[in-house]
Chain A
Amino acid sequence: MTTNAPANALDYNARSRAFKIFSAIVLAIFAIIWIIPLVFALDTSLKPEGEIAAHPTSWWSSHFSFHAYTEVVKGTPIMTWYLNSLIIAVLTVIITLVVCSMIGFALAQTRFSGRITVFGFVLAGLLIPGSILVLPLYQIVHEMHLLNTYWAMALPAVSAPVAVFIFESFFSGLPRELIEAARIDGASWFGIYWRVCLPLCRPAMAAVAIFTFVGSWNNFLWPLLCMSNVDQMTIPVGMATVAGGFGILYAQVMATAVLGALPLFVVFLLFQRHIVQGIAGTGIK
């Protein structure tokens, strides 16, 4: 994706070289602006509280330490929130992958009666701004007695038409002959889906898995409502809700912010290419 030729193509023109340098400088300036908040947050989190009070905007400290981090880990249930976020995200990803790839396959490769209706029906779902409907959704999940369980988070997230269409378009790209050959070999439709097609659609699975994971991990309003018990909270909600006694202890606040962001940074570093492609893939939304 990054090593394609267009940049070179522009070299055909001499004036473009000056423009290239200009581009690099402007980008560098903005890149620096963009990382300052992160670096300063990290910097503050490593300073002793006393030094922050005395020199709040100073970048240097003679006593950098992880003290604030140990205080946060000791003083708040942040480890429990990590675990909750992780389990919820993993549950959501697994169910979403299974459920959405099944219907994606059905829409792409089987010709069942009513398929067009179902297709249009799911397509209409792309238009529904679901996040606005938290209030009625809360009432429904309440009546289902799922509040304060992981299922309150995981199950509603599965109704993601975007994921369906990512799978649908991927399965559509598979050659029809492949399926017909499997049919002749006597494979069942489920067998074709599970053993023939699903293993071929790793990129689609990766894209859906990653944006489902990120979406689940960073969801805020819904878990704010449905995970009201402190022990059931996710990372973003727990951090925002529990004062934890650190009123104006900036190092601890920044340490919390850094800890909250850390896991997804790691995920992002590991899966950068997949994430970026996955986001580009959601262009259909």
Chain B
Amino acid sequence: MTDNSVQRRTQPHPSPTRRTIVGAGLGAAAAELLSGCGSPVATGLFGLAPPSDKLTYWNLFSGGDGANMAKMEKVYERSHPSIDLSATTLSWGTPYYTKLALATAGGAPPDVGIVHLSRLDTFVEAGLLTPFPADELTAFGMPATNFTPRAAQKATVDGQLHAIPLDTHPFVMYYNIPVCRKAGLLDADDNLKPIHGPAELTAALLAAKKVTGHYGGVVAVIGDPATNLRYFSTLYYQAGGTYIADAGQKITIDNDKAAQVLTFMRNLTKSGLMPATINDAGVLSLFSTGKAGFLFDGEWDIPTYRATPLNGKFNVVPIPHIFGPKPVAYADSHSFVIPRNSAMDKNRRAMVLTFIKTMLENSLIWAGGGHVPAWTPVRDSAAFKALKPQANYVAAAETAMYDPPAWYSGAGSDFENIIGAAVANSQSGVSSASSAVGQMWSGLRPYADAKAPVG
């Protein structure tokens, strides 16, 4: 191919420029082609495995998390200069998981990837991941006892650890310190006085509303099904409710409990204590400008609010214990997984495990994004205990409830969209509580009835 184009360039020809340009392009391609076995081109042409000193890592972190992850990668690169770390950030949610699954099934997965624990069961059932035997973890200094028990338990499928948890990120409650102080909701140390039960939460929101003159609290309703799901799930799980069982084949929604929780939530928006139709941008604007005293949101938005004038004037605690016998937090966890890969030999696996260990050891950086580290040596360290407000909600990681396992469930899934959309309809008053529960049933029904693709 190259010979031809070079030869032709020396011949007189009606349109030499054209040929020169195309020829040069091909020449460059050919040069690159010859330059490396183990290069992308060699993989593309002959399906060869990537070079042994290259470590590919896929994640779905952008924004503040992305920046923190990049810092941790830098630390790894500095301590392992001989390894070429190729980290790639892919679009969050379902596109990421589709890509990871297809790449693994297609025989070209990354060496290590991030998976939400709520998505883990499906990946394991599909045979896409390799387990971490206990002796291997011990050999690399990562015994299961060194992780938050709840996260380690969730990462265990079929009796074996299939993911190494990096964090737990619960859905939490933010409060505006000056507003709550004025409302008399804080103690002498500016900490929120404990709130128990529906009446106390309503009273606290009412007190905050009197101070702000706008709203007591705020949570996204429009255009954000995941937040609706998290908010509702926190209270619904507290009340002892469940969604599905048998890996998603059976719907187990408790109509009375769901309606009770939805009605309580709707009363807050109906009475004007919280806005009934508001999107993410509106939430950001209301809470950051002090027009709402409380915010229900994920702890990962802490960096977002630190970038507003509210910086230093808010605090974050677990969602109060409103229903049921014991406090429960809705959460998910990021975790490291090693996708099934025929090109993964012992040395490469050791390289990956060392990488994961390095990430865990540096997860104090990660905690800066609001997350509770799953690696207990960091979580129990003095440095993390001094990290506020993160240290406030460590307990939430211990009482974490995840999305139920099913092939259609987990972070960014159809399950989250269906439940979240029904909750949003109730929150904005489009549907009554009982018809929103009906929407949950009818939304999940086709999935529960369908023959599961895995498992």
- Checking B41, B56, B103 against A148 with a beta-carbon cut-off of 8 angstroms, the contacting residue is B103
- List which A238-285 residues lie within 8 A (CB) of chain B: 241-245, 247, 266, 270-271
Q: Is the CB of B108 within 8 A of A228?
A: yes
The smallest C-beta distance from B293 to any residue of chain A, in angstroms, reads 29
Q: Is the CB of B88 within 8 A of A230?
A: yes
The smallest C-beta distance from A216 to any residue of chain B, in angstroms, reads 14
Complex contacts, B102 vs chain A, CB 8 Å: 147, 225, 228
CB-CB nearest in chain A for B50: A231
Complex contacts, A228 vs chain B, CB 8 Å: 99, 102-103, 106, 108
Q: Which of A23-31, A80-88, A117-125, A178-186 contacts B (4 or more CB under 8 A)?
A: A80-88
- Checking A80, A145, A225, A270 against B18 with a beta-carbon cut-off of 8 angstroms, the contacting residue is A270
Complex contacts, A230 vs chain B, CB 8 Å: 56, 58, 86, 88, 90, 110
Q: Is the CB of A86 within 8 A of B91?
A: no
- List which B73-104 residues lie within 8 A (CB) of chain A: 86, 88-91, 95, 99, 102-103
User: A83-B29, A87-B33, A228-B102 known; A245 and B108 CB under 8 Å?
Assistant: no
CB-CB nearest in chain B for A84: B44
User: A226-B106, A228-B106 known; A271 and B58 CB under 8 Å?
Assistant: no
Q: Is the CB of B44 within 8 A of A245?
A: no
Q: Is the CB of A147 within 8 A of B106?
A: yes
Number of B residues near A (Cβ < 8 Å) is 38
Q: Is the CB of B89 within 8 A of A242?
A: yes
Complex contacts, B17 vs chain A, CB 8 Å: 270
CB-CB nearest in chain B for A94: B1
CA of A231 to CA of B58, assembled, Å: 12
Complex contacts, A90 vs chain B, CB 8 Å: 1, 26, 29
Q: Is the CB of B40 within 8 A of A245?
A: no
Is residue B285 within 8 Å, beta carbon to beta carbon, of the partner chain? no
Q: Is the CB of B90 within 8 A of A245?
A: no
- Interface bracket on A: 20 to 34
Q: Is the CB of A86 within 8 A of B29?
A: yes
User: A90-B26, A90-B29, A243-B62 known; A149 and B91 CB under 8 Å?
Assistant: no
The dominant DSSP class at the A interface is: helix
Q: Is the CB of B32 within 8 A of A83?
A: yes
Is residue B289 within 8 Å, beta carbon to beta carbon, of the partner chain? no
Is residue A229 within 8 Å, beta carbon to beta carbon, of the partner chain? yes
Complex contacts, B103 vs chain A, CB 8 Å: 148, 228-229
CB-CB nearest in chain B for A150: B44
Q: Is the CB of B89 within 8 A of A145?
A: no
CB-CB nearest in chain A for B99: A228
The smallest C-beta distance from A224 to any residue of chain B, in angstroms, reads 9
Complex contacts, B47 vs chain A, CB 8 Å: 145-146, 148-149
Complex contacts, B251 vs chain A, CB 8 Å: none
The smallest C-beta distance from A212 to any residue of chain B, in angstroms, reads 14
Q: Is the CB of B29 within 8 A of A80?
A: no
Is residue B105 within 8 Å, beta carbon to beta carbon, of the partner chain? yes
The smallest C-beta distance from B126 to any residue of chain A, in angstroms, reads 14
Complex contacts, A44 vs chain B, CB 8 Å: none
Q: Is the CB of B44 within 8 A of A149?
A: yes
Q: Is the CB of A142 within 8 A of B90?
A: no
The smallest C-beta distance from A210 to any residue of chain B, in angstroms, reads 11
Q: Is the CB of A147 within 8 A of B108?
A: yes
- List which B1-57 residues lie within 8 A (CB) of chain A: 1, 17-18, 21, 25-26, 29, 32-33, 40-41, 43-47, 50, 56
Is residue B282 within 8 Å, beta carbon to beta carbon, of the partner chain? no
Complex contacts, B278 vs chain A, CB 8 Å: none
Is residue A109 within 8 Å, beta carbon to beta carbon, of the partner chain? no
Complex contacts, A88 vs chain B, CB 8 Å: 44
Is residue A232 within 8 Å, beta carbon to beta carbon, of the partner chain? yes
Complex contacts, A241 vs chain B, CB 8 Å: 90-91, 95, 99
Q: Is the CB of B89 within 8 A of A245?
A: yes
Q: Is the CB of A266 within 8 A of B46?
A: no
User: A231-B50, A242-B90, A271-B18 known; A148 and B43 CB under 8 Å?
Assistant: yes
Complex contacts, B99 vs chain A, CB 8 Å: 228, 241
Q: Is the CB of A245 within 8 A of B107?
A: no
Q: Is the CB of A83 within 8 A of B40?
A: yes
The smallest C-beta distance from A68 to any residue of chain B, in angstroms, reads 18
CB-CB nearest in chain B for A266: B21
The 5 A-B pairs at the shortest CB distance, nearest first, are namely A147-B106, A228-B103, A148-B108, A229-B108, A231-B40
Task: Write the residues of chain A forming the contact surface with B, with a CB cutoff of 8 angstroms.
Answer: 77, 80, 83-84, 86-88, 90, 142, 145-151, 225-226, 228-232, 241-245, 247, 266, 270-271
**Apart from A147-B107, A270-B21, what are 15 other A-B pairs with CB-CB below 8 Å?**
A83-B40, A83-B41, A84-B40, A87-B29, A87-B44, A148-B44, A150-B44, A225-B102, A228-B99, A228-B106, A229-B109, A232-B108, A241-B90, A242-B88, A243-B90
14 contacts between A and B (CB under 8 A): A84-B44, A86-B29, A90-B1, A147-B107, A228-B99, A228-B102, A228-B106, A228-B108, A230-B86, A230-B88, A231-B40, A231-B43, A232-B44, A270-B18
